[in-house]
Protein backbone atom coordinates (compact mmCIF):
# COMPACT_ATOMS: atom_id res chain seq x y z
CA UNK A 1 0.00 0.00 0.00
CA UNK A 2 2.85 2.38 0.79
CA UNK A 3 4.49 1.69 -2.54
CA UNK A 4 1.25 2.18 -4.47
CA UNK A 5 0.56 5.42 -2.61
CA UNK A 6 4.02 6.71 -3.56
CA UNK A 7 3.59 5.64 -7.18
CA UNK A 8 0.26 7.50 -7.36
CA UNK A 9 1.76 10.54 -5.64
CA UNK A 10 4.63 10.63 -8.15
CA UNK A 11 2.23 10.43 -11.06
CA UNK A 12 0.25 13.38 -9.71
CA UNK A 13 3.19 15.72 -8.99
CA UNK A 14 4.84 14.96 -12.32
CA UNK A 15 1.62 15.55 -14.22
CA UNK A 16 0.89 18.96 -12.73
CA UNK A 17 3.44 21.03 -10.82
CA UNK A 18 0.67 22.79 -8.91
CA UNK A 19 0.41 19.66 -6.79
CA UNK A 20 4.03 20.10 -5.74
CA UNK A 21 3.10 23.32 -3.95
CA UNK A 22 0.15 21.59 -2.32
CA UNK A 23 2.35 18.70 -1.21
CA UNK A 24 4.87 21.06 0.37
CA UNK A 25 2.08 22.80 2.28
CA UNK A 26 0.53 19.62 3.70
CA UNK A 27 1.72 19.37 7.28
CA UNK A 28 4.05 16.42 7.82
CA UNK A 29 4.01 15.06 4.26
CA UNK A 30 7.65 15.85 3.50
CA UNK A 31 8.72 14.29 6.80
CA UNK A 32 6.86 11.11 5.80
CA UNK A 33 8.72 11.06 2.48
CA UNK A 34 12.06 11.46 4.26
CA UNK A 35 11.12 8.62 6.61
CA UNK A 36 10.53 6.45 3.54
CA UNK A 37 14.06 7.29 2.36
CA UNK A 38 15.27 5.17 5.28
CA UNK A 39 12.99 2.26 4.42
CA UNK A 40 14.57 -1.19 4.21
CA UNK A 41 12.17 -1.95 1.35
CA UNK A 42 14.15 -1.02 -1.76
CA UNK A 43 11.09 -0.30 -3.90
CA UNK A 44 9.57 2.04 -1.30
CA UNK A 45 12.89 3.82 -0.90
CA UNK A 46 13.26 4.29 -4.67
CA UNK A 47 9.72 5.64 -5.07
CA UNK A 48 10.32 8.07 -2.20
CA UNK A 49 13.52 9.20 -3.92
CA UNK A 50 11.57 9.89 -7.10
CA UNK A 51 9.22 12.08 -5.08
CA UNK A 52 12.06 13.99 -3.43
CA UNK A 53 13.84 14.39 -6.80
CA UNK A 54 10.73 16.09 -8.19
CA UNK A 55 10.44 18.39 -5.18
CA UNK A 56 14.15 19.25 -5.40
CA UNK A 57 13.58 20.37 -8.97
CA UNK A 58 11.98 23.56 -7.66
CA UNK A 59 14.50 26.18 -6.46
CA UNK A 60 11.86 27.58 -4.13
CA UNK A 61 11.88 24.39 -2.05
CA UNK A 62 15.55 23.37 -2.10
CA UNK A 63 16.56 25.22 1.04
CA UNK A 64 13.32 24.21 2.75
CA UNK A 65 14.06 20.52 2.13
CA UNK A 66 17.64 20.93 3.34
CA UNK A 67 16.40 22.70 6.45
CA UNK A 68 14.04 19.79 7.11
CA UNK A 69 16.96 17.36 7.04
CA UNK A 70 16.75 15.76 3.60
CA UNK A 71 20.53 15.64 3.06
CA UNK A 72 21.35 13.04 5.71
CA UNK A 73 19.07 10.26 4.35
CA UNK A 74 20.21 11.05 0.80
CA UNK A 75 23.84 10.49 1.82
CA UNK A 76 22.89 7.20 3.50
CA UNK A 77 21.28 6.03 0.26
CA UNK A 78 24.52 6.89 -1.55
CA UNK A 79 26.37 4.65 0.86
CA UNK A 80 24.02 1.66 1.10
CA UNK A 81 21.22 2.00 -1.46
CA UNK A 82 20.52 0.17 -4.71
CA UNK A 83 22.08 1.30 -7.99
CA UNK A 84 18.88 3.16 -8.93
CA UNK A 85 18.62 4.57 -5.42
CA UNK A 86 22.15 5.96 -5.59
CA UNK A 87 21.47 7.49 -8.99
CA UNK A 88 18.26 9.16 -7.78
CA UNK A 89 20.03 10.38 -4.66
CA UNK A 90 22.82 12.03 -6.65
CA UNK A 91 20.21 13.67 -8.87
CA UNK A 92 18.54 15.10 -5.76
CA UNK A 93 21.87 16.34 -4.39
CA UNK A 94 22.79 17.90 -7.72
CA UNK A 95 19.56 19.91 -7.72
CA UNK A 96 19.94 20.88 -4.07
CA UNK A 97 23.55 22.05 -4.45
CA UNK A 98 22.80 24.43 -7.31
CA UNK A 99 22.35 26.71 -4.30
CA UNK A 100 25.87 27.00 -2.86
CA UNK A 101 24.42 27.72 0.58
CA UNK A 102 23.33 24.07 0.70
CA UNK A 103 26.80 22.76 -0.12
CA UNK A 104 27.87 23.01 3.51
CA UNK A 105 25.10 20.68 4.60
CA UNK A 106 26.21 18.02 2.09
CA UNK A 107 29.81 18.34 3.20
CA UNK A 108 28.89 18.29 6.91
CA UNK A 109 27.15 14.92 6.46
CA UNK A 110 30.20 13.39 4.78
CA UNK A 111 28.77 13.78 1.29
CA UNK A 112 31.99 14.99 -0.32
CA UNK A 113 33.93 11.92 0.81
CA UNK A 114 31.12 9.56 -0.23
CA UNK A 115 30.90 11.15 -3.68
CA UNK A 116 34.67 10.85 -4.12
CA UNK A 117 34.45 7.12 -3.36
CA UNK A 118 31.78 6.74 -6.05
CA UNK A 119 33.96 8.60 -8.55
CA UNK A 120 36.92 6.43 -7.68
CA UNK A 121 34.97 3.32 -8.75
CA UNK A 122 35.48 4.42 -12.40
CA UNK A 123 32.70 2.17 -13.78
CA UNK A 124 32.72 1.84 -17.56
CA UNK A 125 29.34 0.08 -17.82
CA UNK A 126 26.34 2.27 -18.65
CA UNK A 127 24.72 2.25 -15.20
CA UNK A 128 27.92 2.64 -13.21
CA UNK A 129 29.27 5.28 -15.57
CA UNK A 130 26.07 7.29 -15.25
CA UNK A 131 26.38 7.25 -11.46
CA UNK A 132 30.02 8.33 -11.61
CA UNK A 133 29.05 11.16 -13.96
CA UNK A 134 26.31 12.32 -11.60
CA UNK A 135 28.72 12.22 -8.65
CA UNK A 136 31.06 14.47 -10.66
CA UNK A 137 28.16 16.85 -11.21
CA UNK A 138 27.42 17.16 -7.49
CA UNK A 139 31.11 17.67 -6.69
CA UNK A 140 31.28 20.35 -9.37
CA UNK A 141 28.57 22.23 -7.48
CA UNK A 142 30.33 21.75 -4.14
CA UNK A 143 33.62 23.30 -5.28
CA UNK A 144 31.89 26.66 -5.46
CA UNK A 145 32.80 26.81 -1.75
CA UNK A 146 36.55 27.40 -1.37
CA UNK A 147 36.93 25.33 1.80
CA UNK A 148 35.28 22.32 0.16
CA UNK A 149 37.39 22.83 -2.95
CA UNK A 150 40.57 22.67 -0.85
CA UNK A 151 39.35 19.51 0.87
CA UNK A 152 38.61 17.81 -2.45
CA UNK A 153 42.00 18.78 -3.87
CA UNK A 154 43.72 17.40 -0.76
CA UNK A 155 41.75 14.16 -1.12
CA UNK A 156 43.05 13.57 -4.64
CA UNK A 157 40.21 14.93 -6.76
CA UNK A 158 42.60 16.19 -9.47
CA UNK A 159 44.35 12.92 -10.46
CA UNK A 160 41.03 11.12 -10.05
CA UNK A 161 39.35 13.53 -12.50
CA UNK A 162 42.18 13.28 -15.03
CA UNK A 163 41.86 9.50 -14.91
CA UNK A 164 38.11 9.76 -15.55
CA UNK A 165 38.69 11.86 -18.68
CA UNK A 166 40.10 8.64 -20.19
CA UNK A 167 37.05 6.60 -19.13
CA UNK A 168 35.13 4.66 -21.78
CA UNK A 169 31.86 6.09 -20.43
CA UNK A 170 30.91 9.40 -22.07
CA UNK A 171 28.97 10.67 -19.04
CA UNK A 172 32.00 10.17 -16.82
CA UNK A 173 34.29 11.81 -19.39
CA UNK A 174 32.17 14.92 -19.86
CA UNK A 175 31.46 15.48 -16.18
CA UNK A 176 35.14 14.96 -15.30
CA UNK A 177 36.18 17.56 -17.89
CA UNK A 178 33.54 19.96 -16.56
CA UNK A 179 34.82 19.38 -13.04
CA UNK A 180 38.40 20.13 -14.06
CA UNK A 181 37.34 23.35 -15.79
CA UNK A 182 35.38 24.63 -12.80
CA UNK A 183 38.14 23.54 -10.42
CA UNK A 184 40.73 25.50 -12.40
CA UNK A 185 38.63 28.65 -12.79
CA UNK A 186 40.05 31.62 -10.95
CA UNK A 187 42.66 29.63 -9.04
CA UNK A 188 46.24 29.78 -10.32
CA UNK A 189 47.52 27.29 -7.73
CA UNK A 190 44.95 24.65 -8.68
CA UNK A 191 45.63 25.21 -12.37
CA UNK A 192 49.29 24.49 -11.67
CA UNK A 193 48.40 21.25 -9.89
CA UNK A 194 46.28 20.14 -12.84
CA UNK A 195 49.15 20.85 -15.25
CA UNK A 196 51.65 19.01 -13.04
CA UNK A 197 49.37 15.96 -12.98
CA UNK A 198 49.36 15.87 -16.79
CA UNK A 199 45.91 17.38 -17.19
CA UNK A 200 46.67 19.35 -20.35
CA UNK A 201 48.17 16.34 -22.09
CA UNK A 202 45.11 14.21 -21.33
CA UNK A 203 42.62 16.89 -22.34
CA UNK A 204 44.50 17.61 -25.58
CA UNK A 205 44.30 13.89 -26.27
CA UNK A 206 40.51 14.18 -26.36
CA UNK A 207 40.85 16.61 -29.27
CA UNK A 208 42.98 14.18 -31.29
CA UNK A 209 41.05 13.54 -34.57
CA UNK A 210 42.09 9.90 -34.39
CA UNK A 211 40.52 9.41 -30.95
CA UNK A 212 37.04 7.97 -30.45
CA UNK A 213 35.77 10.78 -28.22
CA UNK A 214 32.38 12.32 -29.04
CA UNK A 215 31.93 15.86 -30.38
CA UNK A 216 30.46 16.89 -27.01
CA UNK A 217 33.53 15.62 -25.16
CA UNK A 218 35.76 17.52 -27.60
CA UNK A 219 33.74 20.71 -27.09
CA UNK A 220 34.03 20.40 -23.29
CA UNK A 221 37.77 19.76 -23.63
CA UNK A 222 38.28 22.89 -25.69
CA UNK A 223 36.54 24.98 -23.03
CA UNK A 224 38.66 23.39 -20.31
CA UNK A 225 41.84 24.15 -22.27
CA UNK A 226 40.82 27.79 -22.62
CA UNK A 227 40.47 27.96 -18.83
CA UNK A 228 43.78 26.20 -18.22
CA UNK A 229 45.65 28.36 -20.73
CA UNK A 230 44.64 31.75 -19.38
CA UNK A 231 48.18 32.30 -18.11
CA UNK A 232 51.26 32.42 -20.39
CA UNK A 233 52.81 29.43 -18.64
CA UNK A 234 49.98 27.17 -19.65
CA UNK A 235 49.86 28.53 -23.19
CA UNK A 236 53.54 27.65 -23.59
CA UNK A 237 52.91 24.17 -22.22
CA UNK A 238 50.15 23.59 -24.77
CA UNK A 239 52.28 24.88 -27.65
CA UNK A 240 55.20 22.66 -26.65
CA UNK A 241 52.86 19.64 -26.58
CA UNK A 242 51.73 20.39 -30.13
Residue-wise pLDDT tens digits, 144-164: 888 999 999 999 999 999 999
Task: Report the pLDDT value the prediction gives residue 232, as an integer from 0 to 100.
Answer: 43
Is 133 in the same domain as 227?
yes
Task: Report the pLDDT value the prediction gives residue 126, as an integer from 0 to 100.
Answer: 55
pLDDT band for position 125 (cuts 50, 70, 90): low
The mean pLDDT value for 152-179 works out to 90
Domain's final residue, options 84, 109, 134? 109
Residue 127 or residue 197, greater confidence: 197
Give the sign of the dihedral formed by CA 141, CA 148, CA 107, CA 61.
negative
pLDDT band for position 178 (cuts 50, 70, 90): very high
- Evaluate whether 89 touches 54 at the Cβ level (below 8 Å): no
Residue-wise pLDDT tens digits, 65-82: 999 999 999 999 999 999
Closest CA to 217 of 165, 149, 148, 181: 165
**How far apart (Å, rounded) are the C-alpha atoms in residues 28 and 183?**
39
**How far apart (Å, rounded) are the C-alpha atoms in residues 68 and 72?**
10
Which residues does 83 contact at the CB level (< 8 Å), separation at least 6?
A: 127, 128, 131
The mean pLDDT value for 39-57 works out to 94
Residues spanned by the domain of 162:
111-242
Residue-wise pLDDT tens digits, 5-42: 999 999 999 888 889 999 899 888 999 999 999 999 99
Is 41 in the same domain as 144?
no
Is 23 in the same domain as 143?
no
Task: Report the pLDDT value the prediction gives residue 73, as an integer from 0 to 100.
Answer: 95
Is 95 in the same domain as 151?
no
**How far apart (Å, rounded) are the C-alpha atoms in residues 144 and 237?**
27
Residue-wise pLDDT tens digits, 182-206: 988 877 888 889 999 999 999 999 9
Is 79 in the same domain as 161?
no
**How far apart (Å, rounded) are the C-alpha atoms in residues 228 and 231?**
8
Question: Is the pLDDT confidence value at 135 over 80?
Answer: yes
Amino acid sequence: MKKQALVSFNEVIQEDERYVKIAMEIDGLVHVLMKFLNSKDTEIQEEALKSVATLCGFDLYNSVLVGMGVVSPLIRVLETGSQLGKELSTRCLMKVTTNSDNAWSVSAHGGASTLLKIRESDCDDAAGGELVGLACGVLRNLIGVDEIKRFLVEEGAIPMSIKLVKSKNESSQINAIDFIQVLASGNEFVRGLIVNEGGIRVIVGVLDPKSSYSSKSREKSMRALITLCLLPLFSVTLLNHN
